[in-house]
Amino acid sequence: MSPSLPAESGAPQPLIGIGPVRHTRLRPVRHAFAYRSYFLLLPMRRLAAAPVPALRRNRFGAIAFHDRDHGDGRADALAWFDELLASEGLRADGEVWLHCLPRVLGYAFKPVSFWYGHRADGSLAAIVAEVNNTFGERHCYLLAPPPGGRLAFGQTLQATKVFHVSPFCAVGGDYRFRFLRTDLGAPGAPGGRTVVRVDHHDADGALLQTSAAGELAPLTPARIRQAFFGVPLMTLGVVLRIHWQALQLWLKRLPLFRKPEPPRRFVTR
pLDDT tens-digit map of 73-111: 999 999 999 999 999 999 999 999 999 999 999 999 999
Of 64, 28, 20, 26, nearest to 253 (Cα)?
Answer: 28
Q: Give the separation between CA 124 and CA 140, rounded to whole angstroms.
A: 18
Which of the pair, 11 or 217, is modelled with greater confidence? 217
pLDDT above 60: residue 186: no
Between β-strands 63-65 and 56-57, what pairing exists: parallel, antiparallel or unpaired? parallel
Report the alpha-carbon distance of residue 267 to residue 87 in Å, rounded: 11
pTM reported for the whole predicted model = 0.93
Burial of 128 (0-12, 13-18, 19+ CB in 10 A): buried
